[in-house]
Structure 1
C-alpha cells in the first residue's frame, strides 16, 4: 500500500510505503528453506541442518534482502501508478510518528521513500527573442595578415652577436634565492625562451632584454599574490640569470618556395592567396555558427526557466572535476594541490543539466532528428582541417562512439536552425578581427 505522493522541494518528492510483516516473514522463511537445502555445517549432513540454525546464521541477511526487494517492487508500482519520471535512486527510512517513534503497528512495516523527479517542461515562446547574426567580409588585408602569421609559424632562428631584443630566442641558466635560501623550482639550466611570448612572467622576461652572451644579472622579482606556487606567492625572490646564447628570428620570404611549402604545387602566389581566402571564409562560417549557437542556447534558457535535479547536477560536477584532474595531469600539475572543490563546478554543471533537459524536450516535441546525410556533412567538415581528409572520415566511421558524437553535433545544428526559424534574426556587421576575437 502506498499513500499519495508529497512534494518536499521543487523536484523532491516523498511517498510512504507499507509492507505486510506476515508477507515479509513468509518470504524470509521460503528463502531460508531454499538455503537450508544447500547449507553445510559441522555435525550435520548437507541439507540436514536444522532450520533454526540456518535461521540464526542467515536470517538477518535474508530479511534485509526481502525487505529491500519488497521496497523496490512497491516503489516501482507507485512510480507507475503516479506516472512519475524519477531521477536516480530513492532513499528509504523507517517512518516515525509525530513523537519521533517508529510505527508501532505490528502488522506493517512503514517506510518513507524520498526521491527526485524530472521537471515538467512547457516550452516557452521564442517569438520575442532577438538574435544577432554577425556578418563580415574577407579582404586583401586579412589575407596579408594571415600570410604574416604563417611566416611567423615558419620562423627560423640564427645566432646573433648583439644584446637581447624582444622576439629573440635565448638560452640561459637561472637560480633564485628566497629569504637567503634556494627553493624548490627556483633554478634551471639551458632554458630556451622566446622573449616576449609570455612563457615566463613579464618582468622576468623584460630583465633579459639588453643582456649579452656570458653576462650575468641579478634582480629582484615579486611573485603575484595569486601565483600557483604557494611557497613564493606574494614574495620577493632574488634571481640571478646567466645568458648563454642569443638568436634572432628570420622569417621566410613570400615566394614560390614558400607557397610550395604550404601545399601549392607550382608555387603560384595567387593560388596561395586563393587557398588562404577559402580557409578564412570557412573559418568565418564556423565562427558565425558558433556565435549563433551560443545565442540560441542562451535564448532557450531565458524562455524556459526550470529547476534541475540535484542528482544530475552532482553527476555532472563529478564528471567536470574528473575532466579537470585529467587536464591538469596532462600538463604536469597535481590537481590535489590545486584544491579542486565541487562548488567551483556547480554553476557550470547546473547550466549544462538545465540546457540538456530543455534540448531533450525540444527535440522530442518537435521530432528533431539527425539524418545520415547531416552526420556525414559534420564529419566531412571536421575532416577538412586535416592533411588527409579521407582517412579522417574513415576513422570517424570506424567507431560507434565517434559516430554518436558526430550525430550529436548534427542534432545540435538542427536545433539551432529550428530556433532561428522562430526568433527574430538581425544581421550585425563586424570586422574580421572582431568576429575572430582578435580585436
Structure 2
C-alpha cells in the first residue's frame, strides 16, 4: 500500500490511499461465498443458491461494505505509521485516474494540535476560603426546624400572619376572563415565605377564616407563565382555614429525630458542622478549579480541531433538546438549533479538554487508585450506608470514569495553584453557599 501525507492548513491533513483491486475482489468473492451458504431465496433450498444469483442480488452492497472496510483499515494503518493523532472521522473520496489494477482514495481529516502552555508562575489565581461559623450552624438548625414544624388551627377570629399556613380558594380573571392556572380550591401556602407573589401574600396577610377579598395582582414581565406575564389580574380569594406553625425545640429529642446517635445538642451541632464543612469543601473546589482553568487557558496556545468542536456542538444540542423535552415542549427532538448558539461553549470545552490533557500528560497527573477510593469515600460519607454508595460507584465503569475525571481536574488544579501567584480571599459562608436563597426556596 502506497501512502502519502499532505498538510493542507493548520490541523488539516490529507492521506492518499492506493489499494489493489485484486485484494478487494478476492474479499468480495469470499464474502459472497459465505453468504451463499446461509442466504434464503425463493425457489432455492437453503445453501443451494447459485453464486451468480447471490452476486446479482447482493454484489453491490457487499462490494461497498468491503471497500469501506479496506479503506478504513488502510487509513488506520497509514495514520499509525505516520504517528498522527486523528481528530474526528476522515472525509474519504475516490480519486480519478488511478493506475491499472488499483483504486485510489483521498482521506481528508484533522489532527489534534500541539498544545503550548506558557509560564504558569506568571499567572494570578484568586483562591477562595470560607469558614463554617456558629451563625451558619444556627441558620441550618433553623431550616431543619422549619422542615419539621407542625401546625395547629387558629381561632376563627385570628388574623393570618407570617409563618401561618393558610388554606384558600381563589380565582383570577384578566379583563373579566378566567385563565389557565388562575383558579384553585383548598390551596395551601405559608404566609411570608415567598411561595406566592408578594401582592397575593399581602392580600391574605391579616385576613380571617371565612373572609373574602378582591384585589389586583400584576404579574412580573419575566413570570414563568408566558400567557399572563406582564398582565394584571383581578383575584377573589377566600380564606378557609388558618393554622399556626410550631417549630420544635432544639433539644435531645430533636437531635434523636435527626438520627444523631449521641442524641445531644452538641453532637447535633457537630454533625451539622461536619456536613457543612464537607459541602463547603466541594463548593470551594469547584469555584477554585474554575479560576485555575481560566488561568490555564490564558497561558495556552493551540489551534482547535473543527471536528472536535462540531462533535461538542452536537452533544450540547442533544442536551438542549433533552431539556426541552423534559419541559414538555412538543417535538423537542426535532427542534432546529443553530450551531452558533453553542459554538462559544463548545470551543471552550474542547480547548480546556486539550489543555488539561496536555498538563496531565506532561506532569503525570493521572488519577491514582488511592485517590479514586478517597474521593468516593468522601462522596459516600454523607449517606446513611456509605459502604453501599462506595460499591455503587465501583460497580459501574462509567460512574468510575466520571469520578476519575473529577480527580484528574483536582490534580491539575493543585498543580497549577502550586505554580501560580495565588491571591487568597475569604468569603462568607452565605456568599459561597447562597444560603439565603436556599432558605427562601
Residue 365 (structure 1) shift: 1.9
Q: What is the rounded CA distance, in whole Å, between the counterparts of 1:282 and 1:114 in structure 2? A: 50
Partner residue, 2:439: none
Residue 210 (structure 1) shift: 3.3
Counterpart contact for 1:6–1:15, Cα < 8 Å: no
Counterparts of 1:250-289 in structure 2 under 5 Å? Answer: 250-264=246-260, 268-289=264-285
Partner residue, 2:167: 171
- Alignment match of 1:197 (pick from 184, 188, 193): 193
Counterparts of 1:247-396 in structure 2 under 5 Å? Answer: 247-264=243-260, 268-323=264-319, 333-336=327-330, 341=337, 343=339, 344-396=341-393
Q: C-alpha offsets along residues 304-331 of structure 1, whole Å, 9 cap, x if unaligned? A: 243444444444445445555666666x
Residue 75 (structure 1) shift: 2.0
- Report the TM-score, using the length of structure 2 for normalisation: 0.80
- Alignment match of 2:117 (pick from 100, 115, 123): 123
Q: C-alpha offsets along residues 416-437 of structure 1, whole Å, 9 cap, x if unaligned? A: 2222221122322333333434
Counterpart contact for 1:318–1:342, Cα < 8 Å: no
Residue 363 (structure 1) shift: 1.8
SS in 1 for 2:240: strand
Counterpart contact for 1:37–1:47, Cα < 8 Å: yes
SS in 2 for 1:84: coil
Q: C-alpha offsets along residues 351-382 of structure 1, whole Å, 9 cap, x if unaligned? A: 33332222222222222233333223212222
The answer for unaligned runs of 5 or more in structure 2 is: 437-441
- Alignment match of 2:408 (pick from 408, 411, 423): 411
Q: What is the rounded CA distance, in whole Å, between the counterparts of 1:275 and 1:187 in structure 2? A: 44
Counterpart contact for 1:378–1:409, Cα < 8 Å: no
Q: What is the rounded CA distance, in whole Å, between the counterparts of 2:413 and 2:171 in structure 1? A: 55
Residue 67 (structure 1) shift: 2.8
Residue 127 (structure 1) shift: 1.0
Partner residue, 1:99: none
- Report the TM-score, using the length of structure 1 for normalisation: 0.80
1:209 matches 2:205: yes
- Distance 1:354-1:29 versus aligned 2 partners, 3 A rule: same
Q: C-alpha offsets along residues 198-231 of structure 1, whole Å, 9 cap, x if unaligned? A: 4444444444333333333334444444444443
CA RMSD across the alignment: 3.7
Q: What is the rounded CA distance, in whole Å, between the counterparts of 1:427 and 1:371 in structure 2? A: 28
Partner residue, 1:6: 7
- Distance 1:173-1:349 versus aligned 2 partners, 3 A rule: farther
Q: C-alpha offsets along residues 106-136 of structure 1, whole Å, 9 cap, x if unaligned? A: 8465443232322222333211122233334
Q: What is the rounded CA distance, in whole Å, between the counterparts of 1:20 and 1:297 in structure 2? A: 50
Counterpart contact for 1:40–1:49, Cα < 8 Å: no
Q: What is the rounded CA distance, in whole Å, between the counterparts of 2:263 and 2:18 in structure 1? A: 83
Q: What is the rounded CA distance, in whole Å, between the counterparts of 1:42 and 1:151 in structure 2? A: 78
The more displaced of 152-161 and 279-288 is: 279-288
Q: Aligned pair count?
A: 428
- Distance 1:215-1:407 versus aligned 2 partners, 3 A rule: same
The more displaced of 202-211 and 77-86 is: 202-211
Counterpart contact for 2:165–2:191, Cα < 8 Å: yes
- Distance 1:322-1:54 versus aligned 2 partners, 3 A rule: closer
Q: What is the rounded CA distance, in whole Å, between the counterparts of 1:337 and 1:214 in structure 2? A: 46
Q: What is the rounded CA distance, in whole Å, between the counterparts of 2:384 and 2:342 in structure 1? A: 37
SS in 2 for 1:370: coil
